[in-house]
């Protein structure tokens, strides 16, 4: 596993290879990330993982400051997998010091879910993904469906611009149904227990949707109930079609999308 700390070594190391699978991360490596790496390793000659906390996608400065980061530990976990050929750990300059800037706008119809609550977040995500794609020139990019809206927007954006495939990978959960996330490192034990209760409640709720006529109303009432019961703040709880992310009134091709706060930690998931 070669660690690439600047663009010069990136270009030099990747030059001989055409068949590259890319797993972008912000570090805080966990088994969710490792599942993407496994998939890439299986389907590509070489796998590159990036570790870069992109300041441009943080709409909240405190969130950026407290974002979990432990490069030494991350590198040690990645090395142990024996499935990563390169780890790219660029500086801000490596990624953003490029004169050509294209203004990225999210369409009005796409300003839903996290795009509605985190102003500028996805513009920052698309910007960094565009730049990383240009720098790395991978054939395939592996992303988690836990961050479904991110996967959906990045896939549409990059596949329109480059000869590339963005592949969505299933959400990895712990035994208590909590989706793995770097942000879970910020939760105390009892908060992690609340996250597990939330997941179990939403999974149960989804089963009940099968027989409901007015889904929107049912979700609104249950959002209030769950908020009160578990003392959390739910930002959204919506059933949406996975192909266009429009509000859905039936379970077919649809998922329940959830964002909520436990204390100051914001978590997202979909079921
Ligand atoms: P992050 O480091 O949080 O930016 O995540 C890097 C990639 O890992 C993104 O494509 C995420 O969607 C994906 N990912 C994060 N958590 C999980 C999970 N629990 N299961 C599968 N993929 C995940």
Q: Is 35 in the pocket of ligand 1 (CB under 6 A)?
A: yes
Residues 164 and 31 in one domain: yes
Per-residue pLDDT for 136 more than 80? Answer: yes
Distance from C-alpha of 202 to C-alpha of 237, rounded to nearest angstrom: 9
Distance from C-alpha of 239 to C-alpha of 237, rounded to nearest angstrom: 7
Residues 77 and 103 in one domain: yes
Per-residue pLDDT for 70 more than 80? Answer: yes
Question: Within a domain: residue 264?
Answer: yes
Which band of pLDDT confidence, cut at 50, 70 and 90, is reported for residue 103?
confident
Question: pLDDT above 90 covers what percent of the chain?
Answer: 96
Domain count within the chain: 2
Residues 195 and 250 in one domain: yes
Is residue 33 part of the annotated active site? The answer reads: yes
Q: Is 181 in the pocket of ligand 1 (CB under 6 A)?
A: yes
Per-residue pLDDT for 124 more than 80? Answer: yes
Residues 205 and 136 in one domain: no
User: What confidence tens digit (pLDDT) does each residue in 219-258 have?
Assistant: 999 999 999 999 999 999 999 999 999 999 999 999 999 9
Mean pLDDT value of segment 79-101: 92
Residues 192 and 123 in one domain: no
Q: Which of 33, 42, 121, 204 is catalytic?
A: 33
The pLDDT score that the predictor gives to residue 99 is: 67
User: How many C-beta atoms lie closer than 10 Å to residue 227's C-beta?
Assistant: 14
Mean pLDDT value of segment 76-100: 94
Residues 124 and 193 in one domain: no
Question: Within a domain: residue 175?
Answer: no
Pocket test for ligand 1, best of 21, 133, 146 (most atoms within 8 A of CB): 146
- Which residues span the domain enclosing 143? 2-169
The pLDDT score that the predictor gives to residue 102 is: 72
The pLDDT score that the predictor gives to residue 213 is: 87
Give residue 14 CA to ligand 1 midpoint distance, Å: 24
Mean pLDDT value of segment 96-101: 77
The residue whose CA has the least distance to atom 13 of ligand 1 is: 144
Residues 52 and 120 in one domain: yes
Mean pLDDT value of segment 146-174: 98
| Torsion region of 177: left, alpha or beta (phi above 0 gives left; psi -120 to 50 gives alpha) | left
The pLDDT score that the predictor gives to residue 21 is: 98
Give residue 125 CA to ligand 1 midpoint distance, Å: 13
CA-to-CA dists, residue 47 to 13, 14, 82, angstroms: 12, 10, 11
Q: Is 199 in the pocket of ligand 1 (CB under 6 A)?
A: no
Mean pLDDT value of segment 90-108: 87
Per-residue pLDDT for 72 more than 70? Answer: yes
Residues 11 and 87 in one domain: yes
Q: Are 39 and 22 in contact (CB under 8 A)?
A: no
């Amino acid at each position: 596993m070669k660690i690439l700390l600047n663009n010069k070594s990136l270009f030099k190391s990747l030059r001989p290879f055409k068949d590259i699978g890319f797993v972008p991360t912000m570090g805080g490596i966990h088994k969710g990330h490792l599942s993407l790496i496994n998939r890439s390793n299986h389907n590509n000659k070489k796998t590159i993982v990036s570790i870069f906390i992109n300041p441009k996608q943080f709409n909240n400065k405190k969130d950026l400051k407290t974002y979990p980061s432990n490069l030494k530990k991350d590198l040690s976990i990645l090395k142990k997998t024996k499935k990563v050929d390169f780890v790219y750990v660029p500086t801000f300059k490596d990624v953003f010091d490029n004169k050509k800037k294209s203004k990225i706008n999210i369409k009005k119809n796409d300003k839903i879910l996290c795009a509605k609550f985190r102003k500028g977040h996805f513009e920052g995500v698309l910007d960094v993904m565009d730049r990383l794609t240009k720098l790395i020139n991978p054939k395939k990019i592996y992303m988690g469906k836990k961050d479904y809206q991110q996967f959906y927007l990045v896939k549409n954006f990059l596949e329109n611009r480059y000869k590339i495939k963005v592949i969505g990978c299933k959400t990895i959960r712990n035994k208590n149904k909590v989706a793995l996330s770097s942000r879970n490192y910020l939760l105390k034990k009892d908060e992690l227990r609340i996250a597990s209760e939330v997941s179990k409640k939403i999974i149960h709720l989804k089963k009940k949707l099968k027989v409901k006529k007015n889904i929107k109303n049912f979700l609104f009432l249950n959002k209030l109930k769950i908020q009160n019961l578990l003392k959390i703040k739910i930002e959204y709880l919506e059933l949406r079609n996975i192909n266009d992310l429009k509000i859905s009134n039936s379970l077919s091709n649809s998922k329940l999308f959830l964002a909520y706060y436990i204390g100051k930690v914001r978590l997202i998931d979909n079921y």
